[in-house]
Amino acid sequence: MQIPFSVRNFLRLALEEDIGSCDLTTTLLIPENQKSRALVVAKENFIVAGMPFVQEVFNIVDTKTEFRVFFDDGSRVRKGDMMAEIHGSTRTLLSCERVGLNVLQRLSGVATLTNAFVEQVRGTRARIVDTRKTTPCMRFMEKYAVKIGGGSNHRSGLYDGVLIKDNHIEAAGGIKEAVTAARCTHHLSKIEVEVESLRDLKEALSVGADVVMLDNMSVKDMKEAVAMVKGKALIEASGNMTLKRVREVAETGVDIISVGALTHSAPAVDISMKIVR
């Protein structure tokens, strides 16, 4: 896997934040030339995501650190499973432990929650996608974890997709005005429009929106919206998507369900690292 420079830089900054000028405790206690191995152990059941990034954390500090990964990303682990074995400088293992585990716990949590949503809509046409509600500077990694969990990615940022939301519509003077302006100046991209009512939907369809986002609509209105669209545009449902509600939404016939909770509310899973002399 090719890790982007921005992610490497983020991991370097995370290490700098934690270690600072030195790992004081480790420097005082551990001889510079001491070697050890460490076992990475699952403390609960979950789906693994983030192993390449964890390896990068340790390699930033010492390129001689060796990894044996027993569960690749996408694997299901159970409580007590040994996920990986790390060989190298004891100082490196101790100094990188927290940052490495933070990344692995966070991304595995995202993958696990995503998979739970994917399983809830299995058998319907709906795809589960993420949003831009990500942790600052962790977007690439969190969206990677969504894919590992079986979900799909929405746009990566403001630069790679036209999504006209309520504030754009207000500022531009209306749905028609917003879509017309976008179509004239950026004609090669598909245009998505957020709609809050069936009346808004009708207007968005009349001006040729390629994708419509049904924002916080009731299930009843979503069913009516699907009937109105009749394949003229892709339909995305968004707003207040929970595991309890998502199946009912999927059964309305929408194409995409965007879930901010995948990245803004996924709980970190429990993983530990143990040094073995």
> pLDDT of 98-114, one tens digit each?
999 999 999 999 999 99
- SS3 (DSSP) at 68: strand
- Evaluate if residue 200 carries a pLDDT over 90: yes
Q: Select which of 64, 76, 165, 274 is catalytic.
A: 165
**pLDDT of 183:** 87
Q: Among residues 130, 215, 236, 255, which one is catalytic?
A: 215
Q: What percent of the chain has pLDDT over 70?
A: 99
Q: Is the pLDDT of residue 185 over 90?
A: no
In this structure, the number of other CB atoms found within 10 A of the CB of residue 230 comes to 8
pLDDT band at 258 (very low <50, low <70, confident <90, very high): very high
Q: How confident is the model at residue 164 (pLDDT cuts 50, 70, 90)?
A: very high
Average pLDDT over residues 203-210: 95
CB neighbours of residue 54 within 10 Å: 27
Distance CA 162, CA 3 (A): 26
- Answer yes or no: 274 catalytic: no
Q: Is residue 215 among the annotated active site residues?
A: yes
pLDDT of residue 244: 96
Distant-in-sequence, close-in-space partners of 149: CB < 8 Å, separation ≥ 6: 47, 49, 110, 111, 112, 113, 114, 115, 118, 262
Q: Is 1's pLDDT higher than 90?
A: no
Phi-psi region of 87 (alpha: psi -120 to 50; beta: other; left: phi over 0): beta
Residue-wise pLDDT for 18-32, tens only, equals: 999 999 999 999 999
User: Has 32 been annotated as catalytic?
Assistant: no
The CATH number of 5-112+266-276, from 3.40.50.2000, 3.10.350.10, 3.90.1170.20, 3.30.450.40, is 3.90.1170.20
CA dist., res. 128 & res. 126, Å (int): 7
Alpha helices in the chain (DSSP H): 5-19, 24-29, 51-61, 90-120, 139-148, 166-172, 175-185, 198-206, 219-229, 246-250, 261-264
- Active site includes 98? yes
Quick one: 118-264 is in which CATH superfamily?
A: Aldolase class I (3.20.20.70)
The Cα 277–Cα 117 span in angstroms is 41
CA dist 214 → 72, 99, 118, 234, 240 (Å): 37, 39, 19, 11, 12
What is the pLDDT, as a whole number, of residue 189? 81
SS (H, E, C) 92-105: HHHHHHHHHHHHHH
**Catalytic-role residue among 98, 127, 155, 176:** 98
Q: Which of 56, 73, 97, 194 is catalytic?
A: 194
In the structure encoding, which two tokens stand for residue 215, read together? 């924002």
d(CA 77, CA 58) in angstroms, rounded, equals 22
Residue ranges of domains in the chain:
5-112+266-276, 118-264
Say whether pLDDT at 277 is over 80. no
pLDDT one-digit tens code per residue, 47-67? 999 999 999 999 999 999 999
Residue 126 pLDDT: 98
The one catalytic residue in 8, 127, 133, 183 is 133
Tokens of 186: 């950026």
Tell me, yes or no, if 194 is annotated catalytic. Answer: yes
Mean pLDDT across the chain: 96
Rg, the chain, Cα only: 23
The helix (run of H) or strand (run of E) holding residue 277 is: none
Measured between alpha carbons, how far is 182 from 175 in angstroms, rounded to an integer? Answer: 11
